[in-house]
Amino acid sequence: MQDSTRSSSSRRCWMRWLNEADEVSMNHRKIEGNEQSIFARLMGYAKPYMSSLILATVFMLITTALELYAPIVLGDAIDSFTEGAEFPQILNLGLIYLSALVGMFAFYVGQMWLLGKMGQDIVYNMRAEVFAHIHSMHLGFFDVTPIGRLVTRVTNDVEALSEMFSGILVRLVKNAVKIAGLAVVMLVMNYKLALRAFILIPLIVILTFMFKRISRTCYRITRTKLTAINTYLSEHISGMKIIRIFDREHEKNQEFKARSMDLFKANFREVMVFGIFRPSIYLLSIIALINIIWGGSELVFAENSVAGTGITVGVLYVFIQYVSQFFEPIQDLAEQIGTLQQAFASAEKIFMILDEEPAIVNKTEADKTENTSGGILGRIEFDHVWFAYNGEDWILKDVSFVIEPGEKVAFVGATGAGKTTILSLVGRYYEVNKGRILVDGRDIRDMNTDELRRAIGQVQQDVFIFTGDIAGNIRLGNSEITDEEMKKAAQTANADSFIEKLEHKYAEAVSERGSTLSAGERQLLSFARTLAFDPKILVMDEATANIDTETESLITEALERLMSGRTTIMVAHRLSTIQHCDCIMVMHKGRLREKGTHQELLAADGIYKKLYELQKAAG
């Protein structure tokens, strides 16, 4: 009846099913033969805990020995009853039995604690490793890999390994030892009866493994059906408007019923498989019992007539106990092999991520040491830069320009002209395909990326708000920024005006999804964030979102303060900002087409003039 409640496992949210179903189809290319190397690599994680592992195995062996010994004490007790023993002798046996049990309890607890701790430590370490590794990847990696999949690697896939380390490994050994131990003890006690007991073993093994196979297949099918119905549900709940508009409620109800029936059938099959298997195994255990009683009683009869030719009733009793113990480890073994396979599948996916090399790395050891003393002045040069996100789809075509320290440059152009890409390339989030980018005369590929990025302040168009409070979102967890500095940054960025109006001021809780901040407020917050880090170079993607006029003037004012004394590269949309720039670069279809001040460009009567008129018309 132990299979009856599996409530807690069903609590996992449906998203995970969807995720995993997706993984199944992803993993067709799984290589069958490398299980050994995966195992070896997994064991590498257990190396630091070798002493725990060995100690736990010793504990396990002791518990197993005691487990085998306990029924013998009972058998002795029975024999001593038939021999008419005195009470002290019985008391003695009872106490021996009790101390064996206490010993078993203590060692078992010790073993579980050691292994549980080891398992959780390994999970903890692996998580940190996978998380750090993913963060070391370049931006292009995040562009092509769905975030959900990465999250699954760090969370569920690693979780699947915990069971392997804290349970399966040692239990596998334990069950093997237990089966062997039982066999040896039985053979020593009476080889004839032992051999008789072994007759059924092949049958148990075959039945168990056959069942495991079928039940796992059934389970998979059920899960796929469940995924199907969950996908159907989430799709149709989102698409309910369409269903209503097209008056298809009746049709969809029928369709759902058909799917629901499908799932029911899969569930039904599963119930039936268990319903047939469990009683069959039970019946088999009864047959095993009968087998032992039958053979055993013959031997007892023999012993009764000629001493030394058979067994005592006590021995028979021990055998009866042992026979029922044979079933458990065999069924466990089948279960554990299954879990092990799942763990391997997860491990393979994790290792696949870990084996992925980050495309942007610091070149040599020497460059990894940060050169903070000199600092970056902020001269930026693009030297015949070509860039494509993939293949030959050039986003930038042969772009060259120089920006002197302290200069303010605006990039303008239609959507898709390559403006935003230029901003990403300056911080080396992507590698250029041809040409080079120089900061203060040094190729950025020869610089330490941390040093480079620290010198560049990014004001993003889409401000990402982390869960936490306002203060945390300004200093981004950098503890070197004091409260004063943080508040000063907010004041300079004109963000304090709205922050002061919040109920908890700087401690107001915010998050990406539950954010109540307006687009303008987010922009101001982003200014404050950048100011707090005091960069030499300012890289800015101006927000295009609708901003009310009051905030607009706050932004313009803050922007001026932000830009003063810094080399500024911006993608500009507002006429007001463009006109204040030292130089305007006009991008058109991946090329730098025009360059000059606002007045010069207007006089040239080219693309810029058109853009300018368009802005005016829209404004």
Partner 1 sequence: MLWKYVKKYRRQYICGILILFAVDMLSVYIPQFTGEVTDGLTTSGFTSSDVGRLILLIFLCGLGMAVGRFGWRWFLFVTARKIEREMRDEMFEHLTGMTQDFYNKNKTGDLMAHFTNDIASLRVAIGPAVISSFDAIVMTVLVLTKMILYINLKITVIACIPMLVILAGALYYCNVAEKYYTDKNNAFSDLSDRVQESFSGVRVIKAFVQEKHEMEEFDKVNSKNRKMAMRVVKLNMVFGPGIELIIGICRAITIIYGGWQMIEGQLSLAQFIAFNQYIGMLVWPMIAVGDSINAFSQGRAAYGRIRKIMDEKPEIEDTGKDNDITSLEGEIDIRNVSFSYVPEYGNVLDDISVHIDKGSTLAIIGKTGCGKTTIANLLVRLYETTNGTISFDGHDIKEIPMDTLRTEIAYVPQDNFLFSDTVQSNIAFGVRKWMEIPEEKFSLAKFRGKETIIAEIMDENLKKRAEQVDKAYGDLEQVEEAAKTACVHDNIIEFPNKYATIVGERGVTMSGGQKQRTSIARAIMKKAPILILDDALSAVDTDTEEKILENLKTDRKGKTTIIIAHRITTIQNADKIMVIDDGKVAELGSHDELMKLGGIYARLYEKQQLEKMLDEMAE
Contacts (CB under 8 A) with partner 1, residues 413-472: 414, 427, 429, 450, 453-454, 456, 458, 460, 464, 466-467
CB closer to partner 1 out of 4 and 364 = 4
What separation in angstroms does the CA of 160 have from each of 41, 118, 360, 407, 466?
Answer: 16, 14, 31, 54, 28
Q: How far is the CB of 282 from partner 1 (least distance, A)?
A: 5
Give me the least distance between CB of 572 and partner 1, in Å please.
17
Q: Which is nearer to partner 1, 497 or 518 (CB)?
A: 518
- Residue from the set 56, 300, 528, 547 that interacts with partner 1 by CB under 8 A: 300
From CA 344, how far away is CA 165, in angstroms rounded? 12
307 binding partner 1? (CB under 8 A): no
Task: Answer for the pair 187, 319: CB distance below 8 angstroms, yes or no.
Answer: no
Is residue 203 a contact point for partner 1 (CB under 8 A)? no
Percentage helix, strand, coil, to 5, in the chain?
70, 10, 20
Strands 408-412 and 583-588: parallel
Using rule CB under 8 A, residue 191 touches partner 1: no
Which residues in the 529-588 window bind partner 1 by CB under 8 A? 529, 533, 588
Measured distance CA(575)–CA(128) in Å, rounded = 47
- Binding part of the chain for partner 1, among 41-49, 269-277, 489-497, 576-584 by CB under 8 A, reads 269-277
- Contacting range for partner 1; rule: CB under 8 A; set: 178-186, 200-208, 372-380, 608-616: 608-616
250 near partner 1, rule: CB under 8 A: yes
Quick check: 159 binds partner 1 (CB under 8 A)?
yes
Residue among 98 and 184 whose Cβ is closer to partner 1: 98
Please tell me whether residue 393 binds partner 1 under the rule CB under 8 A: no
Pick the closer one to partner 1 by CB: 213 or 368: 213
Q: Is 228 in the site for partner 1 (CB under 8 A)?
A: yes
Q: How far apart are CA 523 and CA 459, in angstroms?
A: 8
CA distance 331 to 209: 8
Q: Could you tell me the smallest distance in angstroms from the CB atom of residue 393 to partner 1?
A: 14
Chosen residue from 37, 51, 260, 597 binding partner 1 by CB under 8 A? 260
Residue 174 is encoded by which pair of tokens? 């334990």
Q: For partner 1, which stretch binds (CB under 8 A), given 44-52, 192-200, 248-256, 404-412? A: 248-256
Residue 60 as a binder of partner 1 (CB under 8 A): the answer is: no
Q: In a 10 Å sphere around its CB, with 0-12 CB exposed, 13-18 middle and 19+ buried, how is residue 403 labelled? A: buried
The terminus-to-terminus CA distance of the chain in angstroms comes to 74
- Residue 323 CB, shortest distance to partner 1, in Å, is 11
Report the alpha-carbon angle 21-166-98, nearest 5: 135
> If binding is defined by CB under 8 A, does position 599 make contact with partner 1?
no
User: Does the protein bind partner 1 through residue 316 (CB under 8 A)?
Assistant: yes
Total number of residues that touch partner 1 (CB under 8 A): 164
359 binds partner 1 (CB under 8 A): no
Using alpha carbons, list the distances in angstroms from residue 258 to 227, 255, 305. 15, 5, 70
Closer by beta carbon to partner 1, 205 or else 404: 205
Pick from 34, 297, 339, 433 the residue near partner 1 by CB under 8 A: 297
Tokens for 384?
Answer: 């015949």
The stretch among 38-46, 244-252, 482-490, 596-604 that binds partner 1 (CB under 8 A) is 244-252
Q: Following DSSP, what letter does each residue of 8-53 receive, concatenated?
A: GGGGS-HHHHHHHHHHHHHGGG--GGGHHHHHHHHHHHHGGGHHHH
Contacting range for partner 1; rule: CB under 8 A; set: 47-55, 142-150, 181-189, 549-557: 142-150
What are the φ and ψ backbone dihedral angles of 427, each rounded to 5 degrees? -85, 5
- Measured CA to CA in angstroms, residue 417 lies from 253, 396, 583 at distances of 48, 8, 18
User: Counting contacts by CB under 8 A, is residue 86 touching partner 1?
Assistant: yes
Q: Which of 272, 281, 278, 269 is nearest to 218 (CA)?
A: 269
Asked if 129 and 153 touch (Cβ cutoff 8 Å), the reply is: no
Q: Is 514 a binder of partner 1 (CB under 8 A)?
A: no
